[in-house]
Homo-oligomer: A and B are copies of this chain.
């Protein structure tokens, strides 16, 4: 008899097919949390695939209105269990219940679900294009198979495989979901799945539209993302895991969208230091320590001009790091990563200015850690200083002169973001103009005078960037409607009879307000 929680497969809760289980950790104590969760053997995954594939056809027949209603009903149900959800995620992740979980992340999750519902209902996301003269019409539509979502450890709501941004995007495109919970927060994920399932029953969505597996072996993950019946995969997590999944999916010709790591370089120009060194140091400290540095957009690499102003800046930052308490991490893997980074950076010649300590006593903790590196040292081995150190660990690189700062920019890999701080009066403009074109091709989002950790859910957001930050430079994981396009196929209708076209491509505008490109003009009119 399996004591573990059931999995949600084929539209019903049932015990997993094998005896293996795991328990979540309490990072605040280092102990184990109650509740056993199953590690599914392959037959569970195969059943989810088969049911998901069937649901793909059923969802396509049903159309967007039901999906939009589901997303909204799901959001309402989540709100009703807010207290329970916040308590569960707080226990499992060590993230503060307030304001982070209850007042920031959960509302963000609900906002995303509602924005996805609106985009789904509005249908403009599908970029319907009509060529009346040639009688050719096209639009983006679902992939024809379930989308696998593997969420990260650091956002138990907003990026949860069961209800986060990828979930909302893939469903809005019309695809069923196979969610793999992150093993760091199975209880939060379970509550979300319970509400998703109830909302499905209420809206009468195909029952296997949303399925949940808590865990499976890495090799079954590779098998899943490369399976012929899969539509696509979204993964947010570590680079080694991401690259293994990417290789499997690529070889099978299956789309996979990965968010794998980023050092989020910040360049601080001389005029900015002269003008507001203390303020920028405070912003940097705050951005680095937000959620104990466990943010995909944490500034992990800061480049400042060497000299008195630069050293003064570093000293201010050092004091802030030194004066802060060790922070609770999401789990032991984060701690392992920080230990490894500390050793690696020291071996490469970086000087530890603050932190690097693991306090005695309970819990998984690490002190905010700051390294300094010479620009010349960076240039000798640029890759080593761009590896993401997930958690509160940042490296400040001292550029000998402006030419060296540009050379550092030239040697950057792909990152999610890149920021440039400059004098408000324009005295850095020449240097900005020299660095910006270099940085522009290396990052998905370019910021001015602002740290990268706020990722607004905006139609203009790009939470993406060149490899190895992600797997493709043309897609964003945040922002509607753009994020939906990852999970869609381009569908062209050539000479197809009028009554057989999907509503989005018929002469009449299906909603009266959908944006379509008709003979080169974006319009809401009917033909």
Contact = CB atoms under 8 A, between A and B. Distances in A.
A6 interface: no
Interface in A456-508: 456, 458-462, 464, 466-468, 471-476, 482, 485, 488-497, 500
Interface stretch (A137-145, A149-157, A270-278, A286-294): A137-145
A117 B414 CA distance: 30
Interface stretch (A92-100, A325-333, A441-449): A441-449
A473 B490 contact: yes
A257 to B, nearest CB: 11
A216 interface: no
Interface of A: 56-57, 60-61, 129-131, 134, 136-138, 140-145, 246-247, 250-255, 414, 417, 432, 436-437, 440-442, 444-450, 452, 456, 458-462, 464, 466-468, 471-476, 482, 485, 488-497, 500, 515, 517, 520-523
A251 B255 contact: no
Q: Which 7 residue pairs spanning A and B have beta carbons closest together?
A: A144-B441, A253-B467, A522-B522, A462-B492, A473-B489, A250-B250, A445-B492
17 contacts: A131-B456, A134-B456, A136-B456, A136-B460, A142-B441, A144-B440, A144-B442, A247-B250, A253-B466, A444-B490, A446-B491, A446-B492, A446-B493, A447-B495, A448-B497, A482-B490, A515-B522
A437 B247 contact: no
A3 to B, nearest CB: 40
A490 B515 contact: no
Given A441-B489, A476-B492, A482-B490, 4 more contacts: A143-B473, A444-B492, A474-B485, A474-B489
Contacts of A489: 441, 444, 466, 473-474
A97 B459 CA distance: 50
Contacts of A473: 143, 255, 489-490
B250 A444 contact: no
Contact of A517 (B60, B141, B254, B459): B459
A129 B481 CA distance: 11
Nearest to A457: B134
Contacts of A253: 414, 466-468, 471
B246 A250 contact: yes
Contacts of A250: 246-247, 250-251
Contacts of A482: 129, 490
A133 to B, nearest CB: 8
